[in-house]
């Protein structure tokens, strides 16, 4: 029952088609409606119907979001730090060093492998749909849609900048202003390069930051990106002259930490099914806490 999405028709709905209500009331996309129709997952009062069926007041319109999709990702039994889960969404505190998706370089050991195994153990078959993505060496919250409806619902919120994301980063150098905004367009350096650069012809990008703590040669920041460009925070901070500690792609290695000291700590959004405000938090991981402790202990 958890994958059912329902709507009870009201008096103003008299004579409207199922298709109309799927779009206007349940906020489904065209592609999802097509899949539901093909798999006969649309019912009125328990009986399968076509999208052109006309609704009467009191009718119970229901769609079964369980489409039995096969992802092709190999399940792998890996530790999974689940922060939140319901019938539509799942949030995981991803450790540094774990890629989100399999690739040519990383066929196994990814978050997708771990989530697929977890779902398989629960008798569930679904595509792996991460709503936000983190670099391999960035730790923190990854939100996953357990069905196309939830994924598209949060994606629409992202497009309207209604999803709040907060990161923590330990950067090189002392930043003077307590708060500031970096607005600079980001472009790919070259077709096959991982690197991004600030360039006039790039995509618009903006990152807000607040100073949480200053050290003799470092600064701890809380960041709120307004846009979601690839490597955005890393590129913007390097462009500003304050690369993230340990970021070898946009800065240099650090004796404080063996990876970039960037953590996706907070996510806030509106649940696409219930309309409830959801706020999730993942605490700073051990390696960043140890780096901060070294700064305090040695005054560096």
Helix spans in 97-214 (H): 111-121, 148-159
Is residue 20 part of the annotated active site? The answer reads no
In 3-state terms, what secondary structure has residue 90? strand
Which two three-digit tokens encode residue 152?
Answer: 């598209």
β-partners of residue 44 are 47, 61
**Around Cβ 133, how many Cβ atoms within 10 Å?**
15
DSSP states of 37-66: HHTT-EEETTEE--TTPBP-TT-EEEEE--
How many residues are there in the chain?
A: 300
Q: Bridge partners of 214?
A: 219
Instruction: State the catalytic residue, choosing from 13, 59, 93, 135.
Output: 135
> What is the token pair recorded at 115?
């989530």
115-121, long-range: CB < 8 A, 24+ apart: 115/80, 115/90, 115/144, 116/71, 116/73, 116/74, 116/75, 116/76, 117/75, 117/76, 117/77, 117/78, 118/80, 118/82, 120/75
Which residue, among 85, 70, 74, has the nearest Cα to 124 in the 3D structure? Answer: 70
270, exposed or middle or buried, with CB in 10 Å at 0-12, 13-18, 19+? Answer: middle
174-203: b (≥16 Cβ within 10 Å) or e? ebeeeeeebebbbbbeeeeeeebbbeeebe
The Cα angle at residue 249 between residues 244 and 252, in degrees rounded to 5: 60
Q: So which residues are the catalytic ones?
A: 135
């Amino acid at each position: 029952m958890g994958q059912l999405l329902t709507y009870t028709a009201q008096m103003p709905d008299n004579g409207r088609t199922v298709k109309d209500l799927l779009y206007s009331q349940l906020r489904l996309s065209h592609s999802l409606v097509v899949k539901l129709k093909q798999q006969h997952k649309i019912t009125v009062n328990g009986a399968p119907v076509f999208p052109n069926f006309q609704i009467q007041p009191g009718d119970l319109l229901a769609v079964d979001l369980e489409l039995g999709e096969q992802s092709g990702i190999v399940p792998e039994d890996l530790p999974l730090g689940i922060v939140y889960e319901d019938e539509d969404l799942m949030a995981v505190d991803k450790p540094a060093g774990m890629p989100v998706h399999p690739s040519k370089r990383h066929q196994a050991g990814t978050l997708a492998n771990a989530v697929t195994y977890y779902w398989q153990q629960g008798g569930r078959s679904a595509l792996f749909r991460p709503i936000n993505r983190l670099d391999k060496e960035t730790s923190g919250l990854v939100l996953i849609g357990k069905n196309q409806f939830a994924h598209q619902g949060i994606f629409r919120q992202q497009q309207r900048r209604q999803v709040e994301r907060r990161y923590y980063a330990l950067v090189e150098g002392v930043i003077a202003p307590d708060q500031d905004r970096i607005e600079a367009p980001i472009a790919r350096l070259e077709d096959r390069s991982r690197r991004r650069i600030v360039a006039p012809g790039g995509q618009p990008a903006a990152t807000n930051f607040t100073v949480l703590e200053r050290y003799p040669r470092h600064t701890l920041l809380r960041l709120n990106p307004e846009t979601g460009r690839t490597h955005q925070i890393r590129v913007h901070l390097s462009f500003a002259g304050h690369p993230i500690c340990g970021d070898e792609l946009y800065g240099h290695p650090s004796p404080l930490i063996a990876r970039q000291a960037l953590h996706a700590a907070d996510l806030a959004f509106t649940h696409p099914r219930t309309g409830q405000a959801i706020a999730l938090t993942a605490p700073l991981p051990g390696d960043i806490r140890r780096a901060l402790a070294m700064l305090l202990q040695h005054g560096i």
